[in-house]
A and B are shown apart, each in its own frame.
Chain A
Amino acid sequence: MNYGYFPGCSQTSSAKEYDLSLRKVFEKLGFGLEELCDWSCCGATSAHATNHKLSNALALRNIVLAGKQGIKNMVAPCAACYNRLITSQHEISMHPERKNETEELLSEKIPADVKVINVLELFFKIGLAKISENRKRDLNGIKAACYYGCLLVRPMNINNFDDAEQPTSMEMIAEAAGATTIDWNYKLECCGAAHSIVRKDIVLNLSKKIIDDAVLNGANVIITACPMCHTNLDMRQRAMKRKYPEHLMIPVLYITELVGLAMGMNVKDLGIDLHYVNFNYDEYIAEKLIA
């Protein structure tokens, strides 16, 4: 079965490795990802903070395109895109007048049957058993702190696939891939998000707290499914080290990269070598292949 794929801006730039690993993993699992033709900005961050109408129109333009392309399930790997798309969809389903307004702006009818899903949902849709079946490598050495961030399992009542306050779906995927997961406290705390650009100091503090709690609870890898979170947790660690010399560097992987590793792919294939914090392959993974 094919799924639609809405990459979003990060996937083509700062989160290239997310895009890479996602495509590779799903190709290997036997599922096609059909990229949305002519996709545009989802309307997150700047748009929905400055012009609500515009942000809805941007998001729903992509839904219109998906409808035209015959896509029923569209995966949006970036948590911000995902959140923006489902929120817009929810908004027009609740407010017909806003739907009319947006349809007028787009000069198109907005289809109601395009379901936007995130990567975690996608793994659940294809079935966790599929991951375990394709395991080639033992990830026993990885103690993963699964970090959801603020957007991935929210807003409550619109996104119903996991508990908004105590999610466990990423842990289930990581465990299906053979990694050990830890119980920790900061899996939903704010990483600083888009302040990354203008207020590095804030982001540094917030992200440091997250990393510290993961380390305190025994993690050796942090797993995310959001490009923004990844940027803040991965890229800012050098600055953290400069500011707090005692800071322990900890690699941050995308969930797709973790699954890819379990399926026997290499660090280079998955783009893990592009991360700022080195993922010291030998340290975590005994080269034990599962028959």
Chain B
Amino acid sequence: MDKEKWEPKIAAFVCNWCTYTGADLAGTSRIKYPSNTKLIRVMCSGSVDPVFILKAFERGADGVLVSGCHPNDCHYNAGNFHARRRWDFFHKLLDFIGIEKERLQFSWISASEGKKFADVISKITKDIKSLGPFKAYKQMNSEFTVNFPEYNESSNSINKELQ
């Protein structure tokens, strides 16, 4: 792929109540941000399994964002606290195995923070762009992990269609 034209692919796991609504507000307020990030809506940031993040990297994401409600603002009282604890640990783990820390970012974005949402997206896009494409996982994956034929199939077929 041409280096100059390369655009990163970023997955964002966002909670339904705060960040997703915040993203909607960014839209309603017509605040522009780069189009590299696509949102995957979950009910609560507490339900974001580290496996999701690994999966995203495995499926070719160059960066992952996880975002939920501000502490004490959680629709489910405490989900984001569990998320925070889990992220903190998982982040260190990723760092340990050699994945750049900036590839995985966390934030609190409330339903009223459309501007902040746009800023966070712009920042992560910029960060990931400066880091370049994420190849390490793909290499590791080809060496160590077992492929999931079902997902490979579907994504391959999709990739083919897109090309």
Q: Do chains A and B touch in the complex (CB under 8 A)?
A: no
Residue ranges of B at the interface with A (Cβ–Cβ < 8 Å): none
Residue ranges of A at the interface with B (Cβ–Cβ < 8 Å): none
